[in-house]
A = this chain, B = another copy of it.
């Protein structure tokens, strides 16, 4: 932590800050300039946390120098993590591809999609059973019944399974039926849910909040890991900006930024980011090329009649073609 004093802060004010820092058990480092004086305070922030230095007389601002997340931080865990899920793993040298419908509509539909995406090379089947919808009048999902269909899809295809959870009941049901849970963008800072997800023992895919900074995102991961669950995978799915040509703005730079700051695997969801079917293919290639560990892609048997997010879903043929085209890109990055 660096304390920057106001220009022309009197000697008294500077001494007062020095005294407080020492009372907390630290040795302050003073740098006096003609215009500005700064005081370096290095040590465990926990000892200082109930003093607001910004409010002490003569202080201009306080600049933190270390990140608040530790368990998700590459500095303390330099080797990239591999998260095992079912018979597959995320973060190793294969390309994870999670495919399936936004919402599970029926058992027949889910099985049909699962068999098709498996044939094309997906490693996971996804499907929403608990849907967070902007309007209370939109389709809200099949809940536990949907999770049972997921289990059957797994049994028939061998695909790993993942579903979004939106409440403690959903987590409880997920533990019974599926391999991995997803925390959606709208719940990225639902800290209560993060803790329950951490306690569940299941691997967790943590989507980035619509306006979450990468720092906040890693702090959200920290909530899960600090419950004793290190199996966290991050999923970039677009952030909210002024641009309306796409549903959200895919922050592709998040991939290299996360690879530098954290050891957790990173996957990219071009479907939710773009919101438009024709942009998914080029964005998926971009994600693979810049070394994402995987992709999450919406696939539907009949996009024109999907109960949710049809316009951004691929049909079987489009998904199959994408998978074929992705292969040489994956090979180039060693997957």
Establish whether residues B51 and A135, one from each chain, have CB atoms under 8 Å apart when the complex forms: no
* Known A-B contacts A42-B32, A211-B240, A256-B278; A311 and B2 likewise in contact (beta carbons under 8 Å): no
Establish whether residues A253 and B240, one from each chain, have CB atoms under 8 Å apart when the complex forms: no
Q: Given the complex, which residues of B lie within 8 Å of A136, measured CB to CB?
A: 191, 219, 222-223, 226
Establish whether residues A31 and B42, one from each chain, have CB atoms under 8 Å apart when the complex forms: yes
Q: Given the complex, which residues of B lie within 8 Å of A245, measured CB to CB?
A: 213-215, 253-254, 257, 261
Write the A205-242 contact mask toward B (1 if CB under 8 angstroms, else 0).
Answer: 00000110111100100110010000000000001111
CB distance from A266 to the nearest CB of B (A): 11
Chain A residues bordering chain B, tally (CB within 8 A)? 102
How far does the alpha carbon of A242 sit from the alpha carbon of B282 in the complex, in Å? Answer: 25
Q: Given the complex, which residues of B lie within 8 Å of A168, measured CB to CB?
A: 168
How far does the alpha carbon of A240 sit from the alpha carbon of B54 in the complex, in Å? Answer: 22
How far does the alpha carbon of A246 sit from the alpha carbon of B257 in the complex, in Å? Answer: 8
Establish whether residues A54 and B310, one from each chain, have CB atoms under 8 Å apart when the complex forms: yes
Write the A235-273 contact mask toward B (1 if CB under 8 angstroms, else 0).
Answer: 000011111111001111111110011000000000001
Q: Does A119 contact B (CB under 8 A)?
A: no
Residue of B at shortest CB range from A215?
A: B245
CB distance from A307 to the nearest CB of B (A): 6
Q: Given the complex, which residues of B lie within 8 Å of A4, measured CB to CB?
A: 65
Residue of B at shortest CB range from A326?
A: B289
Determine how many copies of this chain the complex contains.
4
Q: Does A328 contact B (CB under 8 A)?
A: yes
Q: Given the complex, which residues of B lie within 8 Å of A54, measured CB to CB?
A: 310-311
Q: Does A63 contact B (CB under 8 A)?
A: yes
Establish whether residues B133 and A191, one from each chain, have CB atoms under 8 Å apart when the complex forms: yes
* Known A-B contacts A40-B40, A134-B68; A211 and B213 likewise in contact (beta carbons under 8 Å): no
Q: Considering residues A52, A66, A245, A253, which has the most beta carbons from chain B within 10 angstroms of its beta carbon?
A: A253
Q: Does A29 contact B (CB under 8 A)?
A: yes
Among listed A81-89, A107-115, A146-154, A182-190, interface-contacting one: A182-190
Establish whether residues A43 and B33, one from each chain, have CB atoms under 8 Å apart when the complex forms: yes
The contact sample of 20 A-B pairs, CB cut-off 8 A, is A2-B38, A4-B65, A7-B75, A31-B31, A31-B41, A37-B42, A46-B137, A49-B139, A52-B304, A56-B304, A63-B63, A132-B191, A133-B191, A186-B190, A190-B190, A211-B242, A249-B249, A256-B278, A260-B278, A282-B289
Given A52-B303, A244-B244, A245-B253, 8 more pairs with CB closer than 8 A: A29-B29, A29-B30, A33-B40, A50-B307, A69-B135, A240-B242, A252-B283, A256-B279
